[in-house]
Amino acid sequence: MSDRVSIDPEVNGGKPTVTGTRVSVQTVLGHLSAGDSVEEVVDAYPRLTREDVLACLEYAARLAGHSVTFEKIA
């Protein structure tokens, strides 16, 4: 995983965040899913780079690839 996304309980309540900022991965993905381009996200958040935005997408893709199994406990 890229060092561009970090989870720190002291920053944004422990939500995945672009390292060195308070911009959450969720915020970045929300903009992209609303149709904003990578460049528009970078313009809206000048501390972010194109690579930061792509790292957020990579983070989400990796999470989507994980499987979870639930077991009923008596």
Whose structure tokens read 């499987």?
67
Instruction: Give all strands (DSSP E) within the chain, no chain letters.
Output: 5-6, 17-18
Q: What is the domain partition of the chain in residue ranges?
A: 5-62
Each residue of 4-14: pLDDT tens digit? 999 999 999 99
- What phi and psi values does residue 36 have, to the nearest 5 degrees? -70, 145
Whose structure tokens read 């390292």?
19
Output the six-digit token pair for 13: 């309540």
pTM: 0.86
Mean pLDDT of the 33-56 span: 98
Q: Is 34 helix (H, G, I), strand (E, B) or coil?
A: coil
User: Could you tell me which CATH number the domain at 5-62 has?
Assistant: 1.10.10.10
Output the six-digit token pair for 8: 């720190």
